[in-house]
Structures are given as C-alpha cells and as structure tokens.
Structure 1
Amino acid sequence: MALVSATGDVLAWVRGGGFEPHGAGLDEAIGGLADLVRAAAELVGTAAPGPVADHVTAFLANCDLPQERETLTRAITAQGWAPKVTVDNDTFAVLRTGSGLPFGAAVVCGAGMNCVARSPDGRNVRYLALGRRSGDWGGGEFLGEEVLWWAVRDEDGRGPRTALRQAVAAHFGLPDVAAVCVAFHLGELPGERLHELVPVLFGIADGGDAVARSLVERLGDEVAGMALAALDRLGFDRTPVPVVLGGGVLTASHPLLLDRVAARFRASGVDADLRILAEPPIVGSVLHGLDELALDGSGAEERLRAAFAGSPGPIVRRG
C-alpha cells in the first residue's frame, strides 16, 4: 500500500500479506488493508481511520466477478479513506504499470492465470479467471500439478518417460514420485509447495525433455491465446499494441516460454509490443489514481517510476 502525492512523490509504502477474502473472510481481508492504511498514515503524520487521500485505487487479487467488485467497493468506501474509490482486479495494475498507457493487454501467470485488455476508449475485456473450471490452463499451482501428474505416470507406467520423474523426487528429497504424492495427500507437504515445481519444470525443459518442453510450450500458447482473444473481442486495431507479461512465472523470462509467446503473436499477425513487467504493480494502481484525478501532466509519472525503480522493498518517506 502506498501514499503518493499529486506530484508523484512517494510518501509511504508499506507491505502486508495477500488479499484473500474468500479464505480469510471479507472482514479480515478489509481489516488487513486497514492495518496497512493506518501504518502508512502514521508515517506521514495523518490520523486513520478517516480520510487519508483524495482517491483510493485498490487493484486486488481475488476481485474477478462484478459482484465481488461491488462488494469490495462498498466495503472500502465505508472505511472513509477517500471520497473517491476505484476497485478492480490486480491485473489492471499490471497493465497500467507495464504499458505506460491506459490501454493494451496484460497477462499474469503467477499462482494462477489471468488476462485483461482495455481499448483506448476505455472498454474492458476480462476473464472469469476461476481456474480450470472457467477455461484456464496455467499458473504456478496448476503447473505443479501437471508436473506431478506426468512424473507419476512415468513411474507407474501409464505415461511416457520423462526426466521430471527423477527431478520431482529429488527436489523433495523423497525416494520416488509416489512418496511425493502421498506426502501432499497427507499434508506432510503443504499444497503451496507445488509452486516449487515450476523452476524444476523449466530446468528439465532446458535439457530437451519432450514432456517438459510440451508443458512450457502449452503455457506459451495459453498466455498468447488469452491476450489475442481479449484483443480480438475488443476489435483492437491500434498497432503496435502493448502486451504486458506479469507474475512470477512470466517475469522469470524463461527463453523457451517467451519465444513461444512471441511466435504465437507473429503467427497471428497482431503487432504486439511484448513487455516483461519490471516494476511493482502498485505503480499502475497509483498511475490509475492520477489518471482519474487528471494529475498526470506535470512529471508525476516519471517521479513515481523513479521512486520505485529497482526498489527491493517498501520505501518510506516522511514529510
């Protein structure tokens, strides 16, 4: 969470845990935001609860459906932090951060997958982004499951040979893939550790393993496919169109994955300006707020980006 002046100066930046209203509950999730707002306000000598800004832009994870946006907008507005509140999915922050413009497309592949696109006239396209049941394929947890699926099928003879089998067992320090499956089933390995298999996948793919390469290439197809379909639904005819790639899986910049994404765009004929997100997405949240308040014409964006450039963590300024 950041407090930023109208001139783009970062007054305070504080960081908390993830925003998970579905798991922790709405009250606890909003309470987590309130703690961050309070901490940032104290750093600049402003009391909270109460107004701390002219505009709050909250681009949040797990804010996908219209009813979720409405619920979260009401809940955040009720806190009284600002007279104007904008709430939407965090992928819009990735788009605004990486594109440098209020339009284009953004694909996030981190824990999950999501994509949004926005036209120059402000029309949006988005996906349900609820996982496989809503047509998604990819994301760290999903890829971890796929790696484990192919590894165990090699081990029990149902599938092709793959170096993922040995790599998975070795990564978790267990004798075989079956033992890894049992450990996840019994909770001895927490489910979030499935994400650790993503770099394992990329490493095996680099060695030429056919199964691993097919998974990475499939992910590249999915990333490009989401963006291309979203741009097509907008009837986007502006070229080149910025397409921002964000989330830990994509910002790791694995050559096989990025080459596959680029190849899909070339084959489509869409003149995409592919960009890897290099700044924290909070930059996009702030820029959207400046856009909304028409305060982006005095070098504010340049100062804001300079403040966050290369910053390893929250920055705090007083005054």
Structure 2
Amino acid sequence: MTDRVLAIDGGNSKTAVMLVDADGKVLAQVRGPGAPPQTVGMKRGLDVFEALAREAAAQAGLSPGEPIASHTAAYLAGADLPREEEDLTRAITERGWSPSVVVGNDTFALLRSGTPSGIGVAVVCGAGINAVGVAADGRTHRFPALGPISGDWGGGSHLGEQALWLAVRADDGRGKPTELLPALLEHYGEPSMSKVVEKLHFQEVLFDPHVLCPILFDVAARGDAVAQEVVDRLVEEIVLLSTVSLRKLDLVDEVVDVVLGGGVMTGTGETVLGPVRRRVLEVAPLAQVRVVDLPPVVGAALLGLDTIGASPGAELRLRSAYEDHVPADDSTLSNVAVSG
C-alpha cells in the first residue's frame, strides 16, 4: 500500500479530516460537526470520524475494502489526559483505518502547524482554552484542561457566558452599567434581560455562548470598561499559559515559537495578540509570538508525515498547497451528523 496519512483534527465545534500521501499531496479533505468522544460518547464520536474518513477515502478514489491510510494521526479536543489518549488510540485502532495510530491533544497539532519542528509553546483559545509546550529534548508541559476543576478560565464558551452574566446583572442592579446590556437585548430581540433569562430557562431560545463572544469583543472595542475587563482577563490567562510552560521547560532565554490559535484568537486580531505579545516578551525576550495561519488539521497531517518518515519536501508541498483544499467557510461542511 502506498503510504498515506489520515489526519483528524477533532474540535468541539468542527471535525476536519485530511488524507495526504507521503509526498505531502492532499488527496482529500472534508469537514463535519464536532464530535468529541468524551462529550458525545466513544461510539458516536468515532462513528462521525469514520464517516468523514470514509468520505475522504472515496474522494481520493480508494476502493471500499482498501485501508484508508498507513498511519492515522488524530489530534482531538478532550484528549486531555494520558488515559484518554490511550483509550482513544485503542478504539481508533480497532476501527482498522490504518495499521498504526497516534492520538494526542489538539494543541500538539496547533503547535506543529505553526512551527517547522513542533518545538515551542502553543495556546489554543477556541470553545475552550488549553496549552502545550514541547522542548527540543522531548520534554513536554501540559495542563489537564478540564475546566474549572483544573483551574481553567477562558475560551469562547466561557466568554459568552460572562457576557450574559454581566448583562443580566447590569439589568437588575447587581452589576455595573455596561453596553453589553443593550447589545444582548438587541441580539435576543427582547425588552429586558429578565425576559431573556426566562426564555433561556424554558429553552424557548437557544443559548449558544459562542455567538455572544464576538459581541463581547465588539463592545470592548467601543470603549466599554466592563467588557474590557473580561478581555484583559483573557489576555492575562493566555500570557500565564504561555509563560508557565516556557518556565517549566527552561525556554525563557531561548529563541522559541509561541503560537496562538483557535477561533477566539483568529477572530480578534491585535486586540488580544498585541498585549499578549508584549507581556510574553517581558518574560521571554527572544520568543516569536504569533497567531497560526494554518488550520490544525495541517498540523495533524504534518505530525503524521513525521511519524512515517516523510521527506522535508513533503512538508513544503503540504504547506504551500493546502489553501486549495481548505473549505473557506462552514457552508462546505459535510452532511455527517452526530446521531443518536
């Protein structure tokens, strides 16, 4: 069988699957709904992954009975602890997509997509927030990233919840006045936050905190002090995740990449990146801090190519060609559903 890598970036809101050959040529790429096995269940999550993997194989012209790849590189949100990675590796191996399988947290894919070697620190701020650091000698530093029980703060879901919380308290008098109040009233089309809360309680209105996150940043950009406090707190958290990892790996005096990614980071421009860069450089003056401009599934594919021993030319080909294969927006998502 010709060497191929099946790369999976399993996020909370989307799943991206890419099939590449050993030369870095993109054979197929599809996207579908987020299906973290820890959230939707192992079978349901892997069924979504498999449907997308089979769709990619069909796009690449593979026969149904043919192995999809020689190696599967699956980097998944929610694969936060070694036990979870082991369980997922075993379950994916049983699916028979490829003879070899590596499962890791999606922060490793972000780090690889933003660096030539997978060395440095990556912070992802999407639906949630997490970070990983990898030193040149192979040492790693990670956080459990299990939410409040492991000390986490931030991520699009949490920021949206904060926006709602602050607007409700501004409306009923418990909180400070904030332009988040009229912004959320306009968003929900209601005269008061008490009416919004009632509809949310009775599930007459869908509560999607990710939708509220851009409103928070927009209100902060217009000079609202209350919204800006939340943005400042996010900056502080990203700086802490970065600098703690740099210190733990003894990288503060090294030339090192600090890459940032995730929907919140890519959607806020210099609003977050600027202050994060300034504060990280106070701790690690030689650090190169930037937002990654490649999707994490490319990082997963690169890690897979590393595993099968592909040539450096394969990485160059993949990096230069991916834009022709990455869907521009959610309108190109696969019809695969999280059923059950």
Q: 1:165 to 1:223 in 2, by over 3 A?
A: same
**How far did 1:7 drift?**
0.7
Cα pair 1:221 1:260 within 8 Å, conserved: no
Deviations 1:81-102 (Å, cap 9, x if unpaired)? 2222110111111110012322
How is 1:161-240 mapped onto 2 (pairs within 5 angstroms)? Answer: 161-191=177-207, 193-236=208-251, 239-240=254-255
How is 1:1-80 mapped onto 2 (pairs within 5 angstroms)? Answer: 1-48=17-64, 51-80=67-96
Deviations 1:215-236 (Å, cap 9, x if unpaired)? 1111011011111111211122
Equivalent residue for 2:310, pick from 290, 295, 314: 295
**How far did 1:50 drift?**
5.2
**How far did 1:183 drift?**
2.1
Deviations 1:122-163 (Å, cap 9, x if unpaired)? 221111111122111111111111111111111111121111
1:120 match: 136
Cα pair 2:79 2:104 within 8 Å, conserved: yes
For 1:66 and 1:287, the matched residues in 2 are separated by 22
* 6-15 or 233-242: bigger deviation: 233-242
Q: The residue matched to 1:108 in structure 2 has which SS?
A: strand
1:308 match: 322
Cα pair 2:254 2:284 within 8 Å, conserved: no
2:292 match: 277
**How many residue pairs are counted as aligned between the two chains?**
313
Q: 1:242 to 1:82 in 2, by over 3 A?
A: same
**How far did 1:48 drift?**
4.1
For 1:263 and 1:113, the matched residues in 2 are separated by 20
- TM-score between both structures, scaled by the size of structure 2: 0.87
The runs of 5 or more residues in structure 1 that have no matched partner are: none
User: How large is the RMSD of aligned CA atoms in angstroms?
Assistant: 1.8
2:159 match: 143
Cα pair 1:92 1:116 within 8 Å, conserved: yes
For 1:29 and 1:228, the matched residues in 2 are separated by 34
For 2:60 and 2:166, the matched residues in 1 are separated by 53
Q: The residue matched to 1:122 in structure 2 has which SS?
A: coil
Q: The residue matched to 2:32 in structure 1 has which SS?
A: coil
What amino acid is aligned across from residue 222 of structure 1 in structure 2?
E
Q: 1:224 to 1:296 in 2, by over 3 A?
A: farther
1:104 match: 120
What amino acid is aligned across from residue 275 of structure 1 in structure 2?
R
For 2:20 and 2:220, the matched residues in 1 are separated by 43
Q: The residue matched to 1:16 in structure 2 has which SS?
A: strand
**How far did 1:284 drift?**
0.5
For 1:130 and 1:110, the matched residues in 2 are separated by 14
* 259-268 or 59-68: bigger deviation: 259-268
What amino acid is aligned across from residue 267 of structure 1 in structure 2?
E
Q: The residue matched to 1:284 in structure 2 has which SS?
A: helix
Q: 1:290 to 1:21 in 2, by over 3 A?
A: same
Cα pair 2:261 2:292 within 8 Å, conserved: yes
What amino acid is aligned across from residue 162 of structure 1 in structure 2?
T
Cα pair 1:106 1:244 within 8 Å, conserved: yes
**How far did 1:49 drift?**
5.5
Q: The residue matched to 1:116 in structure 2 has which SS?
A: strand
For 1:310 and 1:100, the matched residues in 2 are separated by 21
What amino acid is aligned across from residue 257 of structure 2 in structure 1?
P
**How far did 1:42 drift?**
2.1
Cα pair 1:19 1:60 within 8 Å, conserved: no
Q: 1:45 to 1:257 in 2, by over 3 A?
A: closer
- TM-score between both structures, scaled by the size of structure 1: 0.92
**How far did 1:214 drift?**
0.9
Q: The residue matched to 1:305 in structure 2 has which SS?
A: helix
**How far did 1:270 drift?**
4.0
**How far did 1:168 drift?**
1.1
Q: The residue matched to 1:7 in structure 2 has which SS?
A: coil
For 1:239 and 1:310, the matched residues in 2 are separated by 35
